[in-house]
């Protein structure tokens, strides 16, 4: 387990040089699992150096939990190997589908929220968690559509899946905010449905508001003020949780990213972060 | 709903959503616009919205996101050819290639498998505009360099072959297998140098092709612990390594001697001995078998 006040960063290629020179004060790193599943040696060598100094958790985008297709066993084999090599305290992936009909779409895609899907996906999550043998945390999506065929709210669906599967929350505060704005719900109502004792980690990230008001989850900006505010409220509602900052595009120099991460410490201490 | 019914329902839903994602973007306006008219009506009607037209707006985010993520991945795999063409033209090609070859692998960097051959056979052979400033062969060489660079970077580690006393006794009968971390490429333009300088060209537009070299160059690219090393090869040296990769050493030497009848035999033998030794010392070969 990571300490409940741990602050981590999503490890990205542009950080390597800075990390190897400065070994910054970060409690842990999170890697995108798929970047290290293949046989390529250079990424693994770099990751091994990081692991010597920091805990590493795994964050996947490819388990395809809500797909009509069977779970990819070869992928799971590779994931088990990686989780063991990192001795990861937990691993995570998304409550979504990412491929269908033999294709991999490389995106995190929504479904309607329905009770029969809770049962379907909970069974698959339980299987994956047992297979990997480590706590499996499930991340909520940001989304740009909702479906008339949904019979539950997103938070009811998400919480039911975590409960039924015996898995954990990988709660993305930015995603809750983005979807609340795009679909017109109260993010606090979402948060009140969360069992914070089962939150393994919280993600924060930046987003972009389009001219027509739609918000896109771009991970290419600093965290928005409204998301920091929601983060502060989430922290107050919980008993603490490890917090991880994701910055995936237009990545600034690492000191800028570290300064952004440090805002989380100040926000939860009730200080201003400006 | 039974488990089978749920799977069938998901399959149908995901088939329609996939149609949205893979709807080609419309290039006719000079922008990459989502063509929402092509979306399955049944899926659009399922989207909740209070604003007319907003259903397809949400779906178009996924449609554009799908293509732009793939464009970005293919640009990363083919940095040289994408910059020589400029991103606009490259993305148009990428969309055609990926429409015909949907990504299937969970590893995003594998979406470019077959792209180099597709460029060479399906596109460059037919459709390069006559007025294009870039010779077809330059683009093919650039795509090949990008492809090989990526291949050796991602290759698994392999043991390096070193001759045992038994091998030394039967050297001429051995057939060599190149290590997966080795590529031998050729260039008529200084493409490798250009590739290493791409960060000097900000933006997305096409960058100029440098002047042609005086003669065709052959280079060995070899991944080491320090990165990917580049070694300029003499033309006969490159030919030797090609022959060694496909024949026994004895057959390779005989063929090379036949092809190089204008070179004094003593000189050729010296060269062959030196180049063979160099290739072993640098670790070009994963194994050698009879």
pLDDT tens-digit map of B75-87: 999 999 999 999 9
**CATH code, residues A7-268:** 3.20.20.150
Distance CA B74, CA A62 (A): 18
pLDDT of residue B290: 84
Residue boundaries of the structural domains of chain A: 7-268
pLDDT in tens, A202-218: 999 999 999 989 999 99
- A179 vs B: CB within 8 A: no
Torsion of CA A164, A246, B60, B70, to 10 degrees: -110
Q: Which residues contact A99 (CB under 8 A, 6 or more apart)?
A: A62, A64, A67, A69, A105, B106
Structure tokens at B267: 């000189």
On the question of pLDDT at A274 being above 70, the answer is no
Distance CA A251, CA B108 (A): 19
Which chain B residues are closer than 8 Å to A183 by Cβ? 48
Which of B2, B13, B14, B155 to probe by mutation at the A interface, max A CB count within 10 Å? B14
What is the nearest CA distance from B61 to chain A, expressed in angstroms? Answer: 7
pLDDT in tens, B223-266: 998 899 999 999 999 999 999 999 999 999 999 999 999 999 99
pLDDT of residue B166: 83
B103/A117 touch (CB, cutoff 8 Å), yes or no: no
Averaged confidence pLDDT in chain B: 92
At B127, the pLDDT band (50, 70, 90 cuts) reads: low
- A233 vs B: CB within 8 A: no
Please give the helix or strand (H or E) that residue A69 lies within, else none.
Answer: none
Which chain A residues are closer than 8 Å to B17 by Cβ? 100, 109
Residues in chain A: 274
Distance CA B159, CA B283 (A): 9
Which chain A residues are closer than 8 Å to B62 by Cβ? 107, 109, 144-145
Chain position carrying tokens 């922290």? A235
Structure tokens at A21: 């020179």
**A45 CB neighbour count, 10 Å cutoff:** 11
pLDDT of residue A187: 98
pLDDT of residue B130: 54
Residue among B194, B190, B183 at smallest CA distance from B83: B194
Nearest CA in chain B to A116: B1
- A206 vs B: CB within 8 A: no
pLDDT in tens, B87-100: 999 999 999 999 99
- A97 vs B: CB within 8 A: yes
At A113, the pLDDT band (50, 70, 90 cuts) reads: very high
Structure tokens at B208: 């100029």
- pTM, to two decimals: 0.93
Which of B4, B10, B108 to probe by mutation at the A interface, max A CB count within 10 Å? B10
On the question of pLDDT at B104 being above 90, the answer is yes
As a whole number, mean pLDDT of residues B122-132 equals: 62
Interface A-B, measured as beta-carbon pairs within 8 A, has a size of 122
Residue boundaries of the structural domains of chain B: 3-135, 155-289
B106/A39 touch (CB, cutoff 8 Å), yes or no: no
Chain position carrying tokens 């954990």? A168
Share of residues in chain A with pLDDT > 90 (%)? 94
Residue among A116, A140, A137 at smallest CA distance from A125: A137
Which chain B residues are closer than 8 Å to A151 by Cβ? none
pLDDT in tens, A11-53: 999 999 999 999 999 999 999 999 999 888 889 999 999 999 9
On the question of pLDDT at B124 being above 80, the answer is no
- A224 vs B: CB within 8 A: no
As a whole number, mean pLDDT of residues B183-196 equals: 98
């Amino acid at each position: 387990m990571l300490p409940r006040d741990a602050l981590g960063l999503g490890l990205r290629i542009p950080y390597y040089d800075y990390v190897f020179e400065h070994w910054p004060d970060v409690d842990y790193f999170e890697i995108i699992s798929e970047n290290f599943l293949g046989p390529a040696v250079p990424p693994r060598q770099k990751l091994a150096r990081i692991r010597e100094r920091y805990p590493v958790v795994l964050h996947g985008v490819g388990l395809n939990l809500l797909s009509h297709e069977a779970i990819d066993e070869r992928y799971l084999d590779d994931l088990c190997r990686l989780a063991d090599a990192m001795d990861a305290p937990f691993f995570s992936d998304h409550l979504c589908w990412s491929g269908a009909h033999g294709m991999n779409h490389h995106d995190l895609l929504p479904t309607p929220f329905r009770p029969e899907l809770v049962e379907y996906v909970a069974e698959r999550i339980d299987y994956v968690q047992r297979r990997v043998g480590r706590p499996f945390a499930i991340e909520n999506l940001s989304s740009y559509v909702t479906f008339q065929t949904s019979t539950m709210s997103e938070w009811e669906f998400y919480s039911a899946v975590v409960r039924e599967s015996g898995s954990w929350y990988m709660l993305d505060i930015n995603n809750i905010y983005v979807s609340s704005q795009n679909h017109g719900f109260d993010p606090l109502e979402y948060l009140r449905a969360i069992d914070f004792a089962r939150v393994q980690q919280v993600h924060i990230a930046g987003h972009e508001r389009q001219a027509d008001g739609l918000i896109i989850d771009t991970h290419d900006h600093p965290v928005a003020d409204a998301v920091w505010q929601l983060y502060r409220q989430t922290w107050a509602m919980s008993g603490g949780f490890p917090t991880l900052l994701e910055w995936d595009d237009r990545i600034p120099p690492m000191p800028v990213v570290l300064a952004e991460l440090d805002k989380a410490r100040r926000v939860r201490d009730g200080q201003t972060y400006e | 709903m039974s488990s089978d019914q749920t799977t069938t329902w998901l399959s149908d839903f995901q088939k329609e959503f996939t149609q949205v994602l893979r709807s080609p973007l419309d290039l006719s306006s000079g922008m990459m616009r989502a063509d929402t008219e092509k979306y399955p009506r049944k899926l659009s009607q399922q989207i909740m919205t209070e604003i007319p037209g907003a259903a397809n707006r949400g779906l178009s985010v996924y449609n554009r996101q799908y293509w732009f993520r793939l464009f970005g991945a293919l640009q990363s795999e083919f940095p040289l050819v994408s910059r020589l063409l400029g991103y606009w033209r490259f993305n148009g090609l990428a969309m055609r290639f990926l429409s015909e070859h949907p990504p299937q692998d969970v590893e995003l960097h594998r979406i470019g498998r077959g792209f180099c051959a597709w460029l060479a056979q399906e596109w460059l052979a037919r459709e390069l505009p006559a007025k294009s400033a870039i010779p077809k062969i330059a683009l093919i060489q650039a795509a090949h360099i990008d492809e090989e660079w990526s291949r050796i970077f991602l290759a698994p580690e392999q043991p390096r072959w070193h001759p045992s006393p038994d091998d030394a006794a039967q050297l001429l009968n051995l057939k060599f297998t190149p290590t997966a971390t080795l590529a031998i490429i050729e260039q008529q333009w200084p493409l490798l140098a250009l590739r290493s300088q791409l960060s000097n060209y900000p933006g997305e537009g096409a960058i100029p092709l440098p002047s042609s070299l005086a003669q065709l160059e052959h280079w060995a690219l070899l991944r080491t612990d320090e990165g990917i090393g580049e070694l300029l090869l003499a033309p006969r040296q490159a030919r030797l390594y090609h022959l060694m990769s496909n024949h026994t050493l004895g057959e390779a030497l005989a063929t090379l001697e036949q092809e190089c009848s204008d070179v004094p035999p003593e000189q050729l033998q010296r060269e062959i001995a030196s180049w063979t030794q160099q290739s072993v010392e640098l670790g070009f070969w994963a194994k050698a078998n009879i």
